[in-house]
Amino acid sequence: MKAEKQRLDKLLVERGLAPSREKAQALIMAGQVVVGDHAADKAGQQVAVDAEIRIKGEVLPYVGRGGLKLRKALDEFAIDVAGLTALDVGASTGGFTDCLLQAGAARVFAVDVGYGQLAWKLRSDPRVVSLEKTNIRHLMPEQLGAVPDLAVIDASFISLAKVLPATVQLVRPGGRIIALIKPQFEVGRGEVGKGGIVRDPAAHEKAIAGVRQAADELGLTVAGLCDSPILGADGNKEFLILLHISDVPKEAEMDRCIFCKIISGEIPSKKVFEDEQLLVIEDITPQAPLHLLFLPKRHFADCLGMTAQDDALVGYVFRKAGEIARQKGVADSGFRLVQNNGTGAGQSVFHMHFHLLGGRGFTWPPG
């Protein structure tokens, strides 16, 4: 089958090699466009859509073609980033970061799992904090030292459903996220065609729906959606989605659970220990001579709702359990620290918690 063909000037715009048809035509007339091994001289020349095309000299307004995509989103969604602190997830060479800076962003945290990709002009810019060899899912808020107002995401080889949860935890309440939807990483392998291209419009809709669902599960509001102005580097059609983060604490958005009410003091309890992270109380239906509940003050349903930022909390719970066990005289005889995860494991209150059980004559399982 012969490859589909398209006008050269139009193809230049779609690939992000020129910002407009007029600019593309000017480049062609100036002899700066090379198709294969030959300089092109006609804007209307029909060229295979998968042809190798390059431009002599630098023509992009940003260090990477991704900047053209983000610029479209900023314009389409009427977002003013002047003076904002931003988080660029999947920064790569820095097209998104460059676009943000040129639009007036005060500071950009450029995060990427790779190394040595960020353009030198950005690496040396004092407004840019380069976080290379960094997986967004393992990034802790304290590593930033500031709370971003906005996050932009251009991630590859991973679904946005896996990137959004960690990103939301890093952006301020009321902040926004602009994410590039790449269908080839959102749909099943069977829907990705030759060359890694997703051509079926139904598959595009499926990819968008999947991201919408992931956003909804995180309590995000979809505030905008548009096509990317150019195709991806591999020729895939892409989309840009705008998500709003609620400025209402998650605890206030739900019917607050009994443990939330105990933590707030609305329901009385027999308190053993309390600080800014943790409340420890006596269980009202003890299953052992000593039965304490360790309640993290941040509400999440179970261990499946945890993120990397909770790693330190879990370690703290274990250390504090040892201290309290010694204080209560059960450390030498032995004790259990138990976390029931899900109804099948006996979890009845969906607020992450731990049971400390011990004491003379204590056996396992209790009862």
Extended beta strands in the chain, E state:
5-7, 33-35, 38-39, 46-48, 53-55, 85-89, 107-111, 128-131, 150-153, 176-181, 221-227, 239-244, 271-274, 278-282, 290-296, 335-338, 354-358
Please confirm, yes or no, whether 138 is among the known catalytic residues.
no
Catalytic residue among 291, 299, 351, 353: 353
Q: How far is CA 27 from CA 6, 141, 250, 252, in A?
A: 17, 45, 52, 56
Give CA–CA dist 229/215, Å, rounded. 23
Alpha-helical regions (H) of 111-199: 120-123, 141-144, 160-170
| CA dihedral of 192, 198, 199, 204, whole degrees rounded to 10 | 120
Q: What is the DSSP secondary structure assignment for residue 215, as one 8-state letter?
A: H
Q: Half-sphere exposure of 348 toward its Cβ, with a 13 Å CA cutoff?
A: 3
Which positions are catalytic?
A: 353
